[in-house]
Amino acid sequence: MGEVAGGAAPGPPRSGLVSIIIGAEDEDFENELEANSEDQNSQFQSLEQVKRRPAHLMALLQHVALQFEPGPLLCCLHADMLSSLGPKEAKKAFLDFYHSFLEKTAVLRVPVPPSVAFELDRTRPDLISEDVQRRFIQEVVQSQQAAVSRQLEDFRSKRLMGMTPWEQELSLLEPWIGKDRGNYEARERHRLTKYPLLLQSIGQNTEESTERGKVELAAECCREILHHVNQAV
């Protein structure tokens, strides 16, 4: 019979209808993925944004330390701490900044702008005036922005794949953002204390000396950040 019960002959569904249905499902799935990725990475769009969330900052710092490339991020964070110091403290702290990031033999040496490198080759760092120190720091930090942006992008992509550290900790914290500030900050401070200890343990189990030095310095930076957080509370 050519027809069944007065209807159209049975057969495979029309390809146009199938493509419409599948297309709609794919679009919904992609929209859901996009929404989830935006929610998951909303705190990691820029370094300024991350710095407002110490626990998220620690997670990012641990991530870059595990990649053995913490120099650019630590350089920017160290510069931030220098900006909060008084003149005498800042001048002394600049020497630490120099030996950590600018000196040619520094473990965490970062790319130094040619103009700054030229001046540092001519002048001892302890003889540089406070104004020039600030200018050098600003120029060095500015030159790290591209590297830090790449690290943030890498963190975001790795987080979507579940490959970033302390994801469970962050997932427990993030629902409290914007809802209960006191509860959120208490939970955040509780988690902050774990990061330096974890990095210290990683450093102790890293065999290669240069990489171990980078991780240990990252752990020290974590302790300094934790100290600043405690002072601000």
190 domain residue, yes or no? yes
- The position carrying tokens 């720091």 is 137
pTM: 0.65
Host H or E run for residue 52: none
pLDDT for 213: 78
Calpha distance 156→170 (Å, rounded): 13
Answer yes or no: is 125 within a domain: yes
Identify whether 22 is part of a domain. no
Domain membership flag for residue 205: yes
Q: How far is CA 24 from CA 28, 29, 39, 230, in A?
A: 6, 9, 23, 51
**Dihedral angle of Cα 156, 73, 58, 218, to the nearest 10 degrees:** 130
Is 63 domain-assigned?
Answer: yes
pLDDT number for residue 162: 83
Give the model's pLDDT for residue 204. Answer: 72
CATH number, position 193 = 1.10.167.10
Structural domain count of the chain: 1
| Residue 116 placed within a domain | yes
Distance CA 221, CA 20 (A): 54
pLDDT in tens, 172-215: 666 655 554 555 455 555 555 555 666 666 667 777 777 777 77
Q: What confidence tens digit (pLDDT) does each residue in 34-90 have?
A: 444 555 677 789 999 888 877 788 788 888 888 878 899 989 988 988 887 888 888
Closest by CA position to 225, among listed 53, 44, 42: 53
Tell me: pLDDT of 233 over 60: no
Tell me, yes or no, whether 20 lies in a domain: no
Domain containing 202 equals: 51-232
Residue 8 resides in a domain:
no
